[in-house]
Amino acid sequence: MRDLTRPLQECLTALDHKRNLQQVLRRHPADRDELIALLRLSVDLGTLGPPPAEPGFRLRARNRMLAAAADRRRSRRRNPLTFLPRPAARLALTGALALAVTLGAVMAAAASGNSLPGDPFYGVKLGLERAQLTVTLDSAARARLQVQFTD
């Protein structure tokens, strides 16, 4: 059996562009009868509408979609912050982070209280002393702090 793909494509193109189909068929005299039968089949198939949908298809598709939504809902419940709306979860996370940073700073300040020059926290101690002096507005209190820091 010969391959009729190319001649059939030429015939279908001629039909689509409303050109002379007889000229195309004359170029393929040996396959003329088969090409005509295939062209009729093609035209008949083109007049058919889409096949009717299977009755249970919509129900199965709906059930699959609901099952996928339930899976997504279950997977969200595993996160402990999902019970909170997004802005509340962000606020809670920001608050926890601020608390952790503040707690770390307070612990570093407490650890630097007795540090001496050369100790790792001595720079923190000097920074705290400078901050206390900057915040103190009374000159007598500032002088007392400077004396206290030198001791």
How would residue 116 be classed by pLDDT, with cut points 50, 70 and 90?
Answer: confident
Confidence at residue 78, expressed as pLDDT on a 0 to 100 scale: 62
Token pair, residue 148, equals 């206290």
Token pair, residue 53, equals 């949908």
Q: Is 117 exposed, middle or buried (0-12, 13-18, 19+ CB in 10 A)?
A: exposed
Token pair, residue 144, equals 């007392």
Locate the domains of the chain by residue range: 5-47
**Number of other CB atoms surrounding residue 22 within 10 Å:** 8
Q: Give me the residue label for tokens 């050109």.
A: 19
Q: Give me the residue label for tokens 């915040």.
A: 135
Q: How many CA atoms lie within 13 A of 138 on its CB side?
A: 4
How would residue 134 be classed by pLDDT, with cut points 50, 70 and 90?
Answer: very high
Nearest to 22 by CA among 31, 8, 13, 11: 11
Instruction: Please tell me the pTM assigned to this model.
Output: 0.38
Q: What is the dihedral of CA 40, 42, 46, 47, to 10 degrees?
A: 20
Per-residue pLDDT tens digits for 26-69:
888 888 899 899 989 988 888 888 888 788 988 899 999 999 99
Does 118 score more than 70 pLDDT?
yes
Does 82 score more than 70 pLDDT?
no
How would residue 115 be classed by pLDDT, with cut points 50, 70 and 90?
Answer: confident
